[in-house]
Structure 1
Amino acid sequence: YLPEVRKELKICEAKSEKSSIYEPPEVELKDLPPHLEYAFLEGDDKLPVIIAKDLSVEEKTALITVLKSHKRAIA
């Protein structure tokens, strides 16, 4: 004997929201602890990320390059 299982599925319409890569939202940047800073993946004020402040210039450049190459996954 198997109990009868009743499942109801709701029909929902797919959302067609644009990615934040193409239309970055306006964000309010807050004060960070002294060991962190903001870096931006687009221009001087779009797609902010938080990185360690004590990275060398080369490390920051390398990190931002990697983040930019994967921004579709994180934006």
Structure 2
Amino acid sequence: MLSSVRFALSVLLVLLLSMSPAYAYIDPNAGGLLFQLLAPLFAAVLGGWLFLRRWISDLARRLWRRVLGRPEE
């Protein structure tokens, strides 16, 4: 059993350490594109949260009181 584990580990090590060419290219401005996509999305989510946070927290508080069986104030 030890020899089969040793063989599996050696095969895994050879596969991980073998060099192969990566036929890939990432555009230098790919980070800028990602930022242009994610920044407005993040701003919209944050703006929505700031706009609706009181309503969301009141709703969560009422639901939690209902779960606990306490009367609403």
Considering the TM-score relative to the shorter chain, is it more than 0.5?
Answer: no
The structure carrying a bigger helix percent of its residues is 2
- TM-score, normalization: structure 1? 0.30
- TM-score, normalization: structure 2? 0.31
Q: Which has the higher contact order (CA 8 A, sep 6+)?
A: 1
The structure carrying a bigger strand percent of its residues is 1
